[in-house]
Amino acid sequence: MASLSSVRWLTRALVATPNPGVWRGLGTSAATRAASRSQGEDVRVEGAFPVTMLPGDGVGPELMHAVKEVFKAAAVPVEFKEHHLSEVQNMASEEKLEQVLSSMKENKVAIIGKIHTPMEYKGELASYDMRLRRKLDLFANVVHVKSLPGYKTRHNNLDLVIIREQTEGEYSSLEHESAKGVIECLKIVTRTKSQRIAKFAFDYATKKGRNKVTAVHKANIMKLGDGLFLQCCREVAELYPKIKFETMIIDNCCMQLVQNPYQFDVLVMPNLYGNIIDNLAAGLVGGAGVVPGESYSAEYAVFETGARHPFAQAVGRNIANPTAMLLSASNMLRHLNLEYHSTIIADAVKKVIKVGRVRTRDMGGYSTTSDFIKSVIGHLHPYAG
What is the C-alpha separation between 368 and 376, in angstroms, rounded? 13
pLDDT in tens, 158-178: 999 999 999 999 988 888 889
What is the C-alpha separation between 328 and 45, in angstroms, rounded? 23
pLDDT at 54: 93
What is the full DSSP assignment across 163-199? EEE-SSBTTS--EEEEETTEEEE--B--HHHHHHHHH
User: For the chain, percent helix, then strand, then coil, each to nearest 5?
Assistant: 45, 20, 40
Arithmetic mean of pLDDT, 268-275: 96
Q: How far is CA 282 from the centre of its chain?
A: 12
Please state, as a whole number, how many other Cβ atoms lie within 10 Å of the Cβ of residue 238. 9
pLDDT at 142: 98
CB 118 within 8 A of CB 88: yes
> How much of the chain, in percent, has pLDDT values that exceed 70?
83
pLDDT in tens, 294-349: 999 999 999 999 987 767 777 889 999 999 999 999 999 999 999 999 999 999 99
pLDDT at 56: 86
Tell me the domain boundaries of the chain: 47-142+289-384, 154-285
Indicate the SS3 state at residue 360.
Answer: coil
Whole-number average pLDDT of the chain: 86
> Per DSSP, which regions of the chain are E strands?
49-54, 78-82, 109-112, 140-146, 159-165, 175-179, 182-185, 212-217, 244-249, 266-269, 292-296, 301-305
- Quick one: which of 304, 336, 302 has its CA closest to 136? 302
What is the C-alpha separation between 228 and 16, in angstroms, rounded? 29
Burial of 127 (0-12, 13-18, 19+ CB in 10 A): middle
Arithmetic mean of pLDDT, 131-142: 94
CATH architecture entry for 154-285:
3-Layer(aba) Sandwich (3.40)
Better-predicted residue by pLDDT, 45 or 82:
82
Q: How confident is the model at residue 228 (pLDDT cuts 50, 70, 90)?
A: very high
According to DSSP, residue 86 is labeled B
Better-predicted residue by pLDDT, 27 or 201:
201
- Quick one: which of 52, 205, 208, 60 has its CA closest to 136? 52
What is the C-alpha separation between 304 and 322, in angstroms, rounded? 11
How much is the pTM? 0.85
Look up the CATH superfamily of 47-142+289-384. Isopropylmalate Dehydrogenase (3.40.718.10)
Arithmetic mean of pLDDT, 260-286: 96
CB 198 within 8 A of CB 243: no
